[in-house]
Amino acid sequence: MKLENGRYSLYGNAISRKETKQVQKWQNMFKKKFNYDENETYNLSLVDNEQLGPIFGLKNIVRDQDGEPIEPGKAVIVSTIRMGFGHYRIAMAGVSAAKAMGFTPYWLDLLSIPGMPTDIINFCNTNYSKFSRISQKSSWFNKHIWEPVTTGEKTLPGLNAFLNSWIVGWPWRFLKTNIKDYKMSELIGNLHKNLPSDMPMLTAHMWNCMAAVSGGMTNVVDMMFDNWPMAFQLTEGAKHAVQSPSGYYGFRAMRGFDSEGKILKGTPSDAIYFTGHHVDHELVHNIEADCKARVDRARKGAPRRFMITMGGAGAQKELFKAVIDHAIPLIKENKMTLFVNLGDHAGNWNWLKEEVQEYQELITTHFDWEDTRTFVDSIRDGEASGLHIFLHDNTFHAVYATNYLMRVTDIMITKPSELAFYPIPKIFNERVGGHEMWGAVRGAEVGDGTVEVATIPQLLQAVDLLTEETDLLEMFCDCIVKNKSIGIYDGAYHSVALATGTEFDRSKLIN
């Protein structure tokens, strides 16, 4: 990012002087609110990651000088934040790929670093969560405010003018929002001055990427999320790993990134790469075996295994309850087995257990990792029946439980966010934010999921079709195997290769 003639710019595209002043006021607000010290230093060291360390050899970077020293060597830093589970999920894919390629992964969660990182991101997360929740309660708010903010599409004329003048409401798609986010993230740059500047780093959120680049990191690869190009994901000075060809074109051309519709200079070709979907190594490596197991179970008439996940905002509870109520008769008839992952959201279990109390004889709970792992391993080649509820006391196991369950699940029901890119047959329920729509478009086009089924009746129809018949499941599995053969799910490997200056060679992966 540059400041020329009183205007901030990205890849040669400048915002207005008025917007530049607004952005500078935005940054100054954070400086004052959180007592920013430009000379602050961060003493960083390593500690074992208790949850995923045993699986990936993962170590956490912490703000503590009493841990192990950070050794560059064959290490790759994976930087993320918790904003929902999607950015953790992308980071875990990077961790898994790095390990499979012979590197030691280091985990950097900016929300675990006391000081400016935690203060700033929590402030922004609060607003994001508030607006997301309102969007699920008010169809008017969702249509006229949340969808336009998350897509950049126009809304009601007066409201459109207000959102584009109020810096908090600037749509994510526009160049000015990129500049705003960079100047905010710049205040976290100091942290990265305590890391070797040329150390390979993968980032799973643009704030992580912007902070790293502003702090002097030179080998940063941003594992970009979603399938709807938005300017706020770009960081000049980083390489960008895009998951789809349409996403690549949108970012390359900066299509629609100007709020007035002007054609912009494109992102340079050496700053953007079409890598494929960001997926964990163990899922990609076992695609053929897992898809064969799905088809074999279907042909043998085994209960169809469905998985549905619920986020912490408690969004779509009506939909969630409708699926469970619809599933109960099918479970009793031994036509379906349902896995429900509540993540680490104990409050959702408090709600759900009241809703399913009359079905106690069908329910098995799995509330710790050893139990979850033992259960999943037992049904890999065995049978599964009933309604299984998963809940964990930490984010790592909460997120990874879905990954672990994927390999023994036939169909996953999910909103079209980051899970849209995973190699498992999927039913896409209604999106939360317009930017998610394109995840369903991508999944439907590559053939590993349905189109977005935007109403509960449509969703339940899809459940019935995939429970009673085998043709859709077999088609999805066939597409997933073919997709692997042409590298669609290799995004995490290519991201590691970009950051480390190596070549991705599937034959050399450590399984």
239: in domain: yes
Residue at 315 is within a domain? yes
CA dist., res. 445 & res. 439, Å (int) = 10
Q: Nearest CA to 221 among 430, 493, 32, 470?
A: 493
CA distance linking residue 81 with residue 119, whole number of Å: 13
Amino acid code (one letter) for 338 = L
Percent share of the chain, pLDDT over 90: 85
CA distance readout (Å), 163 to 29, 353, 498: 19, 40, 37
Which has the higher per-residue pLDDT, 136 or 86?
A: 86
Assign residue 433 a region (left: φ > 0; alpha: ψ between -120 and 50; beta: otherwise). Answer: left
- Res 135: pLDDT: 82
Tell me the per-residue pLDDT of 244-297, one tens digit each, with 9 for 90 and over. 999 999 999 999 999 999 999 999 999 999 999 999 999 999 999 999 999 999
Same domain, 322 and 198: no
Number of domains in the chain: 2
CA 258 – CA 466 distance, rounded (Å): 42
Confidence at residue 312, expressed as pLDDT on a 0 to 100 scale: 54
Residue pLDDT, tens place only, 326-362: 999 999 999 999 999 999 999 889 989 898 989 999 9
Token couple for 208 = 């992580």
Asked if residue 411 lies in contact with residue 470, where contact means CB atoms within 8 angstroms, the answer is no
CATH code, domain carrying 301: 3.40.50.2000
Which residues have a Cβ under 8 Å from the Cβ of 229 and sit 6 or more positions away? Answer: 173, 247, 249, 250, 251, 255, 256, 257
CA–CA dist 278, 89 (Å, integer): 9
Would you state the pLDDT for residue 314?
A: 52
Q: Which residues lie below 8 Å from residue 461, measured CB to CB, with a gap of 6+?
A: 453
Which residue shows structure tokens 């960081």? 235
Indicate if 226 and 301 belong to the same structural domain: no
As a whole number of angstroms, the distance between CA 306 and CA 11 comes to 45
Domain presence at residue 298? yes
pLDDT at 331: 97
CA gap 331, 309 in Å, rounded: 18
pLDDT at 452: 95
Query: pLDDT band at 317, cuts 50/70/90?
Result: confident
Any long-range contacts for 241-245 (C-beta under 8 Å, 24+ apart)? 241/273, 241/275, 241/278, 241/491, 241/494, 241/495, 241/498, 242/272, 242/273, 242/274, 242/275, 243/275, 243/276, 243/277, 243/278, 243/421, 243/442, 243/491, 244/274, 244/277, 244/442, 245/274
Q: Are residues 259 and 397 in the same domain?
A: no
CA distance 500 to 504: 10
Determine the Cα–Cα distance for residues 408 and 379; give it in Å rounded to an integer.
7
Average pLDDT of the chain, as a whole number: 94
Range of the domain at 359: 282-486
Which helix (DSSP H) or strand (DSSP E) does residue 349 occupy? Answer: helix 346-355
Alpha-carbon span 82 to 502, nearest angstrom? 29
Q: What is the crossing angle of helices 116-137 and 17-33, to 10°?
A: 110
For residues 398 and 495, state if they share a domain. Answer: no
Q: Where are the beta strands (DSSP E) in 133-245?
A: 201-203, 220-223, 239-242
Task: Specify if 2 maps to a domain.
Answer: no
**One domain, residues 378 and 405:** yes
Tell whether 218 is covered by a domain. yes
- Tell me what pLDDT residue 432 has: 82
Burial category of 126 from C-beta neighbours within 10 Å (exposed 0-12, middle 13-18, buried 19 and up): exposed
CA–CA gap between residue 368 and residue 391 (Å, rounded): 7
Q: Which distant-in-sequence residues (6+ apart) come within 8 Å of 366 by Cβ?
A: 372, 375, 388, 389, 390, 391
Instruction: Please tell me the distance from the alpha carbon of residue 380 to that of residue 292, in angstroms, as a whole number.
Output: 12
**pLDDT (tens digit per residue) in 56-79:** 999 999 998 889 999 888 999 999
pLDDT of residue 367: 97
211 backbone dihedrals φ, ψ, rounded to 5°: -65, -40
362 in Cβ contact with 387 (< 8 Å):
yes
* 343 lies in the same domain as 258: no
Cα gap 252→266, rounded to integer Å: 5
Note whether 301 and 224 are same-domain residues: no
* One domain, residues 304 and 240: no
What's the confidence (pLDDT) of residue 198?
96
* The token pair that represents 225 in the structure block: 């999320």
60 within domain boundaries:
yes
The whole-number pLDDT of residue 40 equals 93
Distance CA 172, CA 177 (A): 6
70 and 182, same domain (yes or no): yes
Q: Rounded to the nearest 5 degrees, what angle is found at the Cα of 398, between the Cα atoms of 345 and 142? A: 55
> If we measure between CA atoms, which residue out of 232, 250, 256, 125 comes closest to residue 182?
232
435-459, pLDDT tens digit by residue?
889 999 999 999 999 999 989 999 9
Residue 11 lies in a domain: no
List the structure tokens of 457: 């009746």
| pLDDT value at residue 313 | 53
The predicted structure's pLDDT at residue 315: 57
In the block, residue with structure tokens 């290490």: 75
Instruction: Tell me, yes or no, whether 7 lies in a domain.
Output: no
Residue 230 CB neighbour total at 10 angstroms? 25
Q: What is the pLDDT of residues 194-221, one digit of tens each?
A: 999 999 999 999 999 999 999 999 999 9
For residues 47 and 111, membership in a common domain is answered with yes
Residues 265 and 328 in one domain: no
Closest CA to 174 of 15, 29, 24: 15
Q: What residue ranges in 81-150 does DSSP mark as E strands?
A: 104-109
Beta bridge partners of 9: 2, 14
For the stretch 106-158, pLDDT in tens is 999 999 999 999 999 999 988 777 887 788 778 899 899 989 998 999 999 99
Same domain, 293 and 411: yes
CB atoms within 10 A of CB 442: 24
List CB contacts of 23: < 8 A, sequence separation 6 or more.
8, 15, 167, 176, 179, 180, 183
